[in-house]
Amino acid sequence: MISRLTKSVFSSAPPRLQKWMLNRFIYRKTIERKKISPGQTPLFDTVFFEVRTRCNGHCKFCLASVGTDPRNDISMSYELFDKVLIDLADLGFEGRIAFHNNSEPLLFKQLPDFVARAKECLPRCYIQILTNGRALTLSRTEQLLKAGVDQISVNVYRRNERESIPRVLHDIRSKLLEPAFEENQLEVLGLGREQSPDKPKFSFVVSQRLENELLDSRAGTAPNKPQPAPLERGFCQYPFTQFIVSADGQVAGCCNDVLFELPMGNMKNSTVSEIWFGKEFSKLRGDLLAGDRSGVRTCRQCDFIGVKKAPGSVISKLVFAGLRDRG
C-alpha cells in the first residue's frame, strides 16, 4: 500500500522536482558514501568476465537472448583471463569476481578451470556464478564447488507464474550442499525452508523471475522497451564500480552496454590500471558526476535510475521506490 501511494505521489510531481529529488536524496548521497569526486576515483568493487558471448535464455527484456543476439560466438582465452587476474593481484583487488555480463556462464566449458585459477590468484576475492540454471546439474555444481566458488545464484526465468522451480535445484540442495556443509556454513535462499547464517561459507540463492518482465531500457537495447522512461536520469554508479571484460578483451563502460558500443580500452594491449584510470573512463565519469547522460547514445537511451539500492535514510528510500520505475 505504501509503495503504491509513494509511486502515485512521485509520478504526479513535476519533472523538475523529480530530478531535484533524485539528485538530492539519491545521487548526492551515493557519491558521498562511495567517496567519489572529480579528482579521485576509487577502485571498482566488481569484475565481470563475459567468458562467452552466448546465452540460452529467452528473456524478452534482453538483447542477448536466443533469437535476438546479434553477437558472434566468442570465448575468452585462458591467456587473456590470466593477464587480467595478474593485473588485479598487482592492484590488491579483493572484491567480487563474477562470470557473467550479458551471457550464460555455464555455457563455457572451461568455467571450473577459470574459477580455480581466480581463487588461486586472488584468494580473498568473492567468486560468484549468476546463471539462469538451464545448464546447472549436480555434477556441474560439484565441479564449481571444488574449484572454489563462493556463491551460485540462480535466476529461474519462467514463462508464467504457474511454472514450478526445476527439481534439480532442490536436488542440489538436498543431495549435494547439505551433506557437504555444516548448517552454519551454508546459506540457502529461495527454496522453501531457508538457512541464512551471518557469514556463510557457501551461498545458494534461487530467485523466481519471468521471461517477459519489463525492466530498464538497458542502454536502449531492451527488445520489449524501445523507448526509455520519460524521466531524465543523471548520475550512474556503474562506471565507478564495475570493470567488465568481454570475451575478446574489450572493457565496457557498464554492464548494460550489451554490444560494447562504448569501449574503454582492450585488455589485450593495456593494463587494468591504464584502462580504469584512462581518459575514456575519466570523460564518462565526469559527465555522469555532472548529471549529464547526453554525451553518448548508450547513456542517453538508458533509464536505469543510476544506483542499485537507495542510500540509508527513509526519504531516500521513498524517493528511490517512487522514481525507480518511473515510466
Give the pLDDT score at 322.
84
Q: What is the mean predicted confidence (pLDDT) over 74-102?
A: 98
- Residues 95, 80: contact at Cβ < 8 Å? no
Confidence band of 198 (pLDDT split at 50, 70, 90): confident
Extract the runs of DSSP E, i.e. beta strands, from 114-189: 126-131, 151-158, 186-189
Length of the chain: 327
Average pLDDT over residues 117-126: 98
- The per-residue pLDDT for 226 is 86
For 268-326, the pLDDT digits (tens) are 999 999 999 999 999 999 999 999 999 999 999 999 999 998 888 888 888 888 888 65
Minimum mean pLDDT among 131-135, 230-234, 251-255, 263-267: which range?
A: 230-234
C-alpha 250 chain-centroid distance = 17
Q: Which pLDDT band holds residue 1 (cuts at 50, 70, 90)?
A: very low
Q: Residue 4: which pLDDT band, with cuts at 50, 70 and 90? A: low
* Local confidence band at 5 (pLDDT 50, 70, 90 cut-offs): low
* 279 contacts: CB under 8 Å, gap ≥ 6: none
Which of the four pLDDT bands, split at 50, 70 and 90, describes residue 100?
very high
| Mean pLDDT rounded to a whole number for the chain | 93
Q: What is the mean pLDDT of residues 193-204?
A: 89
Question: Taking the model in full, what pTM does it have?
Answer: 0.93
- Show the beta-strand stretches assigned E in the chain: 46-49, 96-98, 126-131, 151-158, 186-189, 202-210, 242-245, 250-252, 263-266
d(CA 214, CA 224): 7
CA distance 318 to 73: 42
Q: What is the pLDDT of residue 6?
A: 64
Q: What is the mean pLDDT of residues 13-35?
A: 90
Mean pLDDT of 54-82: 97
Give the residue, 196 or 136, on which the prediction is more confident.
Answer: 136
Residue predicted with more confidence, 18 or 202: 202
Comparing 313 with 129, the larger pLDDT belongs to 129
Residues of the chain above pLDDT 90, percent:
80
User: Left, alpha or beta for 192 (phi > 0: left; psi -120 to 50: alpha)?
Assistant: left
Q: How far apart are CA 242 and CA 308, in angstroms?
A: 12
pLDDT band of residue 3 (cuts 50, 70, 90) is low
Kindly state the helix (H) or strand (E) to which residue 9 belongs, with its residue range. helix 2-11
More confident residue, 197 or 327: 197
246 has a pLDDT exceeding 70: yes
Higher pLDDT, 327 or 194: 194
Q: What's the rounded Cα separation, in Å, for the pair 55 and 74?
A: 12
* pLDDT at site 321: 84
pLDDT at 120: 98
pLDDT digits (tens, 9 = 90+) for 200-242: 999 999 999 999 999 999 999 999 998 888 888 899 999 999 9
- Distance of alpha carbon 224 from alpha carbon 284, whole angstroms: 27
3-state secondary structure of 193: coil
